[in-house]
Structures are given as structure tokens and as C-alpha cells.
Amino acid sequence: MLLWGLAIWLLATLALRGAGQWLFGRVGAMTLLFALSVPAMIGLPRRLLTRVGLPAESAATAAIALVMPGMLLDTLSTLAFPWVFPNMPPQRAAAFAAWILFCNAIALASVLTMRSTSHPRPEAGRSALN
């Protein structure tokens, strides 16, 4: 998962170097960015973890490994914001950092509801023994 996380971070960083000025420039664009990030950050980790065949019981640990490279590298990206993202004004560093924290929180929370397909939950009101 660490390599997947590193690859996602690299692609996202390159995309923001190319188009970040349009995403973090106006309130309307930032609102849309945050809104579109919710389904993306719910779907991406869940699909990736399912695709690589990890059991639901390992989802939380795998999600931590998935977001950790980006969290560490985005700490540096935020500190060196004008150099890493020369296409965005330095005043947008706080909005960038808030968005990154938001995305990581959603990605981590999204896996908490993953269920194992090999051990389905019993129906409401019934125990597994019925």
C-alpha cells in the first residue's frame, strides 16, 4: 500500500502543479473541489483495497499505509509551498493543507465500514447462530 500511496501522491502533486491555480483560486472552485473530493476519497481506498484482495479486517491498517506517504510528503509540500506549487500564490498554502487533511480523514474513515464478504453480518435482530 505504501507504493500505491506514493504513486497517488506523485500523480496528485503533478496535477496540482499543472492545474492547482484553478482549484484553489476562488471560493466556488474550492467548494466544488471539497464536494467532489468526498466521493473520490470514499471510493478510491475502498476500490483499491478490494482490488488488491485485502480482507476487510486489514482495511484500517492498509488505509493508514495508503495515506501515510502522502501525509508525510504533503507536510514538506506545504512547508515549501511556493517552490513545489509555483503556479499558486503562497496564500493558498492553508487552503491546500486543509484540503489535504480533509481528504486523508475521509479516506481513512471510508474503510471503517468495509465488511468482509467471507463472513457476512447476520440480519438485524438475529444472531449468527439462528
pLDDT digits over 55-104, tens only?
Answer: 888 889 999 999 999 999 999 999 999 999 999 999 999 999 999 999 99
Contacts of 77 (CB under 8 A, 6+ apart): 13, 84, 85, 96
The pLDDT of residue 6 is: 96
Burial bucket for residue 58 (CB in 10 Å: 0-12, 13-18, 19+): middle
Grouping H, G, I as helix, E, B as strand and the rest as coil, residue 123 is coil
- As a whole number of angstroms, the distance between CA 20 and CA 68 comes to 22
pTM of the model: 0.81
Contacts of 57 (CB under 8 A, 6+ apart): 116
The pLDDT of residue 116 is: 61
Max Cα distance, the chain (Å): 62
**Single-letter amino acid code for the residue at 123:** E
> How is the chain split into domains, by residue range?
2-113
22-31, 60-69, 110-119, range with the lowest pLDDT: 110-119
The pLDDT of residue 53 is: 86
